[in-house]
Amino acid sequence: ATDADAKKALKDAKQIREQAQKQAQEQAEEQVAQQVQVTRQEVGQLRAEAAEAHSQRQAAEAATRQAGEELQELQGNMTHLTEELDEVRLQLGSEMEAVREQSQAVSDNNEQLQCEIYAFQQDLRAGAAEKGSTSGTAGWDPQPSNCTAGWMCWKRMK
């Protein structure tokens, strides 16, 4: 009985060991499968993040290119506007010079008219004095100090 019992105990021990090995193998395989699943999820997440980063980089590069193009366009516009401003300044300078010349001509013409009026008044007064009339000549000063234009004309006529 001892031999048969020993064989049976050995057989039972083998079965228990095989069953334990089988369970350990199944558990190890399950853990590996779970780890593989977690790793796949992490790899998938990393790929998604890498794709998002790549997309953002491409968007940033496109935005940088567009900003560069817009900057070039703005610089071109600025150059064009500066050229137009220079042209306007030149034209305005010419127009201002023409206005100054016209203003001087008007001033000269006004002075000439005042001189002619002064001379005409002198002629009228001289004619009235010859006729003996004193109307309009009372208090007449041949060197009027209160009339600048008249004074200038009187000085010119001397």
Reported as a single tens digit per residue, the pLDDT across 38-63 is 999 999 999 999 999 999 999 999 99
Write the pLDDT tens digit of every residue in 66-109.
999 999 999 999 999 999 999 999 999 999 999 999 999 999 88
Residues ≥6 apart with Cβ < 8 Å to 134: 128
Could you tell me which residues come within 8 angstroms of residue 122 by beta carbon, excluding any fewer than 6 positions away?
A: 142
Q: What is the pTM of this model?
A: 0.42
| CA separation, residue 142 to residues 97, 116, 126, 136 (Å) | 38, 15, 11, 13
